[in-house]
Structure 1
C-alpha cells in the first residue's frame, strides 16, 4: 500500500499550511469569516480542495454550490498521484491526503441530488463506494435514496444486500420500501425489523408527526432524531411509490355515525374553537408512551383537532392517538391558560 498519495510536484508544505487554515474555516463562527479563511487557504495552495468545499457550503444558489464542489473535486483529484491512488483503491479513506477529494465528491453528490440531478449524483456515490469499500462516509445511505428515486430497484437491492446486516433506520426502512415495490413475500418481516430498529419513522413518513424545517445537528440510533433524518431524505422515494404510504398507514375504516350525535349537538352549544382548546388541554392528562393520548372525547372535536394537525387521525381501532409536536405545544399553552395557577 502507498504511504504517500500526493503528486511529487505538489508543494506539500504549502498544502499542509493551507489545509490547517481550511480546517479553521470549517469551524469559524460566521459565514464571512469562513469565506475569508477559505480564500486565504487557496491563496497558499491552489490544490486545497477543502478551501473550495467551504466556499461551496456558503454559496447561496444551487448552481454556485455545484460549481464550487466540482472545483473541489477537480483540485482534490489533481493533487493525488493517480498510480498511487489506484493502488490504494478500496481503502482510500485510510489515507489523510485523499480525504479532501472524497469529502468533495460527497458534497458534490449531495448538492446534485438536492438540485434534482439524481442521475448525475449516482456515479459520484458509486465511485466513492469503490474507493472506500468500508464506507466510512455513509455514502450507501445517500446512494440508496438516489437509486430508489431513480427507480433503479435492482441496483438498490444489490446495494442493500451488500450491507444487509446494517441495522440503522435508513437501511431497515429502505428494505421495507424495496420489499413493497417488489411485492416481496417477507415484507411483513422487513417491516417488523424496521419498527424494531426505529419505531418513530412511521409517524414522520405518514404525516402523523410533522417534520421540522431543519434537520437535527446529530442523531442517535432508535431515537426520533434518527427518524427525522431518514424521513427527511427518503420521503421523496416513499411518496413517489404509488400506494406505499397508504399501505404503511394501514386501513382507516369510516367511523359510523352514532345515533345520539345529532341530539348531543343540539343539546351542547358553544364556541368550537374554545371547545377544541379545552379538549386539547384535557388530552394532556392522559399523555403516555411516545406522545400518545387517550381519545375518550367527542368525535367531532377530535376530527377538528386532527384537521388542525394537532393529533393523528382518530379513526381506527386504537384507543389512543399521537399528539404532534405542534399539538403538544398548543395543548401545553391551552392547559396553562385554562388550568394554570391563579394569582392570589
Structure 2
C-alpha cells in the first residue's frame, strides 16, 4: 500500500503504519523541517524531492511543504497541499474506526504525522473563520487523543467563543479541570458572564486574577503595548509566551478583548476591581 493506514497493535490501540518507501528519507525530512525558517528555499527543494520519491506515502512532507508555502504567502498552493495531506490522513482511518471510542494516541510516535495533519487542517479552517467546521475538526482531535498533547483545547476554547457556545466552554473546562492556564481560568469566567451567572463569574474572576494578575492589569490599561523588554524572542516558541508573564497577558487581551467588550460589561467589571 502506498499510503499510511491505521491498524491495531497488541495493546488494542490504533497505530499508523507508514509505507517503507519513506524510511530512507526521514533524516532529510527533519533536516528540511529545521531549515524552514532560516533557509525556506532549500527546505522547499528537499520537501519536493521527498514527495517526488514517496508520493502520498509521506504525508508529513506534503503537510510541511504546504505550511512552508503558507508562511511564504503562497496560500493557494499551501492550503491545497494541507487539504491533500488531510485527505490522505482521513483515508488512513479504517471503516470500523469509532470516533469517541477508538483513539489515536500521540504517545505512539508513528501517529504524530497523522495528528499533525488533522491539526493543521483544523487551524486552516479556524483561520478562514469557518468556525463550525473548525469546531468539528478540533473535537475529532480531542476525542481521538484526549490527553491533548497538541494543545488543541486552547484553539477549541477560542473557536467556541466565536460560536457563542458558552455551555460547551464550561463542559470543555470540566473535561480539562486540571488546566491552570489564563485561557481556561478567564475563559470560564467569560462563559459564566455570558450565561448571566454573574456571581459565579465574579468568583471565578477572583481566582483567575489571583493566578494571573497581569491579565487583569492589561484589561485595566488605557493604552496597550506589547512589552518587548520583558522576554527576548528566544523565550517565545510558536506564539506561546512565558507563563504568568506580561507578554502572555497582552497576548490573551489581544485575542479575547472583543469577547469581553461586546456586551458593555467590561467597564463595570473594571470599576468593581474584579478585572
- Helix, strand or coil at the partner of 2:106: helix
1:156 lines up with 2:169 in the alignment: yes
Change (3 A) 1:235 1:113: farther
Structure 1 segments unaligned to the other structure (5+ residues): 252-316, 318-344
The match for 2:64 among 54, 72, 84 is 54
Contact 1:202 1:248 in 2 (8 A): no
The corresponding residue for 1:31 is 40
Cα deviation 1:158-184 (Å, max 9, x = unaligned): 111211231111111101211211122
Change (3 A) 1:69 1:175: same
Structure 2 segments unaligned to the other structure (5+ residues): 1-7
What displacement does 1:56 show?
2.1
What displacement does 1:119 show?
1.6
Which has the higher relative contact order, 1 or 2, with Cα contacts under 8 A spaced 6 or more apart?
2
Bigger Rg, structure 1 or 2: 1
- Helix, strand or coil at the partner of 1:243: coil
The corresponding residue for 1:133 is 146
1:222 lines up with 2:231 in the alignment: no
Matches within 5 A, 1:1-344: 2=9, 5-6=15-16, 11-12=19-20, 14-28=21-35, 29-45=38-54, 46-58=56-68, 59=70, 60-79=73-92, 89-184=102-197, 185-205=199-219, 208-211=223-226, 216-217=236-237, 218-239=240-261, 241-250=262-271
Distance 1:249 1:66 in 2: 42
> What is the number of equivalent residue pairs in this alignment?
248
TM superposition score normalised by structure 1: 0.63
What displacement does 1:146 show?
0.3
Contact 2:189 2:204 in 1 (8 A): yes
Note the aligned Cα RMSD (angstroms).
3.0
